[in-house]
A = this chain, B = another copy of it.
Amino acid sequence: MSEQDVRKHLLECAKQEFLAHGFQGASLRRICAGAGVTTGAVYFFFQNKEDMFAQIVANTAAELTNLGQALSMAELEEPDSGPDCDLRLMEFLYRHRDEALLLLERSQGTRYAGFAEELYAQMRWAFTLFFQRYGAGEPDPELIRILVEMRMKGNLELLKGDYTMEQVLELTRLTGVYADGGFRRLTAELRKSNSEG
Protein backbone atom coordinates (compact mmCIF):
# COMPACT_ATOMS: atom_id res chain seq x y z
CA MET A 1 0.00 0.00 0.00
CA SER A 2 1.24 3.43 -0.79
CA GLU A 3 1.49 6.73 0.95
CA GLN A 4 -1.21 7.50 3.44
CA ASP A 5 -3.34 4.53 2.52
CA VAL A 6 -2.76 2.69 5.74
CA ARG A 7 -3.65 5.72 7.80
CA LYS A 8 -6.87 6.21 5.87
CA HIS A 9 -7.71 2.57 5.99
CA LEU A 10 -7.10 2.63 9.71
CA LEU A 11 -9.36 5.63 10.16
CA GLU A 12 -12.07 3.99 8.10
CA CYS A 13 -11.87 0.74 10.06
CA ALA A 14 -11.83 2.67 13.31
CA LYS A 15 -14.90 4.61 12.26
CA GLN A 16 -16.82 1.43 11.59
CA GLU A 17 -15.65 -0.11 14.84
CA PHE A 18 -16.59 2.96 16.84
CA LEU A 19 -19.98 3.08 15.16
CA ALA A 20 -20.59 -0.56 15.88
CA HIS A 21 -19.38 -0.71 19.48
CA GLY A 22 -19.00 2.84 20.72
CA PHE A 23 -15.69 4.32 21.72
CA GLN A 24 -15.20 2.31 24.86
CA GLY A 25 -16.39 -0.94 23.39
CA ALA A 26 -14.19 -0.61 20.33
CA SER A 27 -11.16 -2.85 20.15
CA LEU A 28 -7.89 -1.61 18.73
CA ARG A 29 -7.05 -5.18 17.86
CA ARG A 30 -10.12 -5.56 15.71
CA ILE A 31 -9.44 -2.23 14.06
CA CYS A 32 -5.88 -3.21 13.28
CA ALA A 33 -6.82 -6.67 12.13
CA GLY A 34 -9.31 -5.07 9.79
CA ALA A 35 -6.65 -2.73 8.47
CA GLY A 36 -4.11 -5.50 8.19
CA VAL A 37 -1.54 -4.00 10.53
CA THR A 38 -0.26 -4.72 14.01
CA THR A 39 -1.57 -2.78 16.94
CA GLY A 40 1.70 -0.92 17.33
CA ALA A 41 1.19 0.71 13.96
CA VAL A 42 -1.69 2.74 15.33
CA TYR A 43 0.71 4.62 17.54
CA PHE A 44 2.71 5.87 14.65
CA PHE A 45 -0.26 7.73 13.30
CA PHE A 46 -2.15 8.50 16.46
CA GLN A 47 -1.34 9.28 20.03
CA ASN A 48 -3.82 6.81 21.39
CA LYS A 49 -7.28 5.41 20.96
CA GLU A 50 -8.98 8.66 21.84
CA ASP A 51 -6.79 10.60 19.43
CA MET A 52 -8.02 8.29 16.71
CA PHE A 53 -11.59 9.09 17.60
CA ALA A 54 -10.79 12.77 17.75
CA GLN A 55 -9.12 12.80 14.36
CA ILE A 56 -12.23 11.23 12.89
CA VAL A 57 -14.71 13.69 14.34
CA ALA A 58 -12.76 16.88 15.00
CA ASN A 59 -13.63 18.71 11.81
CA THR A 60 -17.24 17.73 11.92
CA ALA A 61 -17.45 18.74 15.56
CA ALA A 62 -16.08 22.21 14.89
CA GLU A 63 -18.30 22.77 11.89
CA LEU A 64 -21.33 21.48 13.70
CA THR A 65 -20.77 23.83 16.59
CA ASN A 66 -20.51 26.76 14.23
CA LEU A 67 -23.53 25.69 12.27
CA GLY A 68 -25.54 25.29 15.44
CA GLN A 69 -24.74 28.83 16.48
CA ALA A 70 -25.42 30.24 13.05
CA LEU A 71 -28.78 28.51 12.82
CA SER A 72 -29.80 29.58 16.30
CA MET A 73 -29.08 33.18 15.37
CA ALA A 74 -30.82 32.91 12.04
CA GLU A 75 -33.90 31.44 13.65
CA LEU A 76 -34.08 34.17 16.26
CA GLU A 77 -33.73 36.98 13.78
CA GLU A 78 -36.05 35.46 11.22
CA PRO A 79 -38.56 33.22 12.98
CA ASP A 80 -40.02 31.94 9.75
CA SER A 81 -36.68 30.47 8.78
CA GLY A 82 -37.23 27.54 11.15
CA PRO A 83 -38.05 24.94 8.50
CA ASP A 84 -35.17 26.15 6.37
CA CYS A 85 -32.82 25.85 9.30
CA ASP A 86 -33.93 22.31 9.94
CA LEU A 87 -33.16 21.42 6.36
CA ARG A 88 -29.74 23.00 6.45
CA LEU A 89 -28.90 21.17 9.66
CA MET A 90 -30.05 17.87 8.25
CA GLU A 91 -28.18 18.43 5.05
CA PHE A 92 -25.01 18.95 7.05
CA LEU A 93 -25.66 15.93 9.25
CA TYR A 94 -26.40 13.81 6.21
CA ARG A 95 -23.16 14.82 4.57
CA HIS A 96 -21.28 13.85 7.74
CA ARG A 97 -23.44 10.97 8.79
CA ASP A 98 -20.88 8.70 10.39
CA GLU A 99 -19.03 11.46 12.17
CA ALA A 100 -22.24 13.01 13.44
CA LEU A 101 -23.47 9.73 14.83
CA LEU A 102 -20.09 9.13 16.48
CA LEU A 103 -20.16 12.56 18.03
CA LEU A 104 -23.71 12.47 19.25
CA GLU A 105 -24.18 8.86 20.26
CA ARG A 106 -20.86 6.99 20.46
CA SER A 107 -18.49 9.39 22.15
CA GLN A 108 -18.77 8.24 25.74
CA GLY A 109 -15.27 8.00 27.18
CA THR A 110 -13.80 10.65 24.92
CA ARG A 111 -13.40 14.38 25.32
CA TYR A 112 -16.46 14.70 23.12
CA ALA A 113 -18.67 12.93 25.62
CA GLY A 114 -20.41 16.19 26.43
CA PHE A 115 -20.70 17.40 22.86
CA ALA A 116 -24.30 16.37 22.35
CA GLU A 117 -25.32 17.96 25.62
CA GLU A 118 -23.68 21.24 24.60
CA LEU A 119 -25.39 21.24 21.28
CA TYR A 120 -28.71 20.37 22.82
CA ALA A 121 -28.28 23.07 25.44
CA GLN A 122 -27.89 25.58 22.67
CA MET A 123 -30.98 24.25 20.97
CA ARG A 124 -32.93 24.43 24.19
CA TRP A 125 -31.86 28.00 24.63
CA ALA A 126 -32.98 28.92 21.12
CA PHE A 127 -36.19 26.98 21.51
CA THR A 128 -36.89 28.66 24.83
CA LEU A 129 -36.58 32.10 23.26
CA PHE A 130 -38.82 30.98 20.42
CA PHE A 131 -41.33 29.65 22.93
CA GLN A 132 -41.33 32.90 24.85
CA ARG A 133 -42.14 34.87 21.71
CA TYR A 134 -44.66 32.66 20.04
CA GLY A 135 -45.66 30.30 22.73
CA ALA A 136 -47.48 30.54 25.97
CA GLY A 137 -45.51 32.47 28.53
CA GLU A 138 -42.60 30.94 30.36
CA PRO A 139 -42.18 27.35 29.16
CA ASP A 140 -41.41 24.45 31.47
CA PRO A 141 -37.68 23.77 30.99
CA GLU A 142 -38.31 20.06 31.23
CA LEU A 143 -40.87 20.23 28.47
CA ILE A 144 -38.36 22.09 26.35
CA ARG A 145 -35.74 19.50 27.12
CA ILE A 146 -37.94 16.65 26.03
CA LEU A 147 -39.12 18.31 22.86
CA VAL A 148 -35.54 19.08 21.81
CA GLU A 149 -34.43 15.58 22.64
CA MET A 150 -37.28 14.11 20.60
CA ARG A 151 -36.50 16.31 17.67
CA MET A 152 -32.83 15.44 17.55
CA LYS A 153 -33.50 11.79 18.17
CA GLY A 154 -35.74 11.83 15.14
CA ASN A 155 -33.04 13.45 13.09
CA LEU A 156 -30.46 10.92 14.17
CA GLU A 157 -32.79 8.06 13.37
CA LEU A 158 -33.12 9.49 9.91
CA LEU A 159 -29.36 9.35 9.56
CA LYS A 160 -29.27 5.70 10.50
CA GLY A 161 -31.63 4.72 7.74
CA ASP A 162 -30.38 3.97 4.28
CA TYR A 163 -31.78 6.99 2.51
CA THR A 164 -30.76 9.27 -0.28
CA MET A 165 -30.43 12.89 0.58
CA GLU A 166 -33.67 13.71 -1.20
CA GLN A 167 -35.50 11.23 0.98
CA VAL A 168 -33.88 12.61 4.10
CA LEU A 169 -34.80 16.17 3.23
CA GLU A 170 -38.35 15.22 2.42
CA LEU A 171 -38.71 13.30 5.68
CA THR A 172 -37.17 16.26 7.48
CA ARG A 173 -39.74 18.52 5.90
CA LEU A 174 -42.49 16.23 7.14
CA THR A 175 -41.16 15.99 10.67
CA GLY A 176 -40.93 19.77 10.54
CA VAL A 177 -44.61 19.96 9.69
CA TYR A 178 -45.31 17.55 12.52
CA ALA A 179 -43.28 19.65 14.95
CA ASP A 180 -44.98 22.81 13.84
CA GLY A 181 -48.41 21.34 14.31
CA GLY A 182 -47.41 19.94 17.66
CA PHE A 183 -46.03 23.26 18.81
CA ARG A 184 -49.20 25.14 17.89
CA ARG A 185 -51.48 22.70 19.61
CA LEU A 186 -49.26 22.65 22.63
CA THR A 187 -49.09 26.40 23.06
CA ALA A 188 -52.84 26.60 22.61
CA GLU A 189 -53.27 24.02 25.32
CA LEU A 190 -50.84 25.76 27.62
CA ARG A 191 -52.53 29.09 27.12
CA LYS A 192 -55.78 27.50 28.05
CA SER A 193 -54.28 25.92 31.14
CA ASN A 194 -52.75 29.22 32.22
CA SER A 195 -55.95 31.15 31.84
CA GLU A 196 -57.82 28.48 33.73
CA GLY A 197 -55.22 27.68 36.38
Contacts and interface: CB of A to CB of B under 8 A. Distances in A.
Interface string A124-142: 0000000000000000101
Nearest to A167: B142
A49 to B, nearest CB: 14
A171 interface: yes
Nearest to A148: B157
A32 to B, nearest CB: 13
A140 B171 contact: yes
A163 B163 CA distance: 37
Contact of A146 (B25, B147, B175, B186): B175
A84 interface: no
A154 interface: yes
Interface residues of A, number: 35
A64 B139 CA distance: 32
Interface stretch (A11-19, A54-62, A92-100, A176-184): A176-184
A160 to B, nearest CB: 9
B185 A177 contact: yes
A180 B171 contact: no
Contacts of A174: 140, 143, 186, 189-190
Interface of A: 21, 24-25, 140, 142-143, 145-147, 149-151, 153-154, 157-158, 161, 163, 167, 171, 174-175, 177-186, 188-190
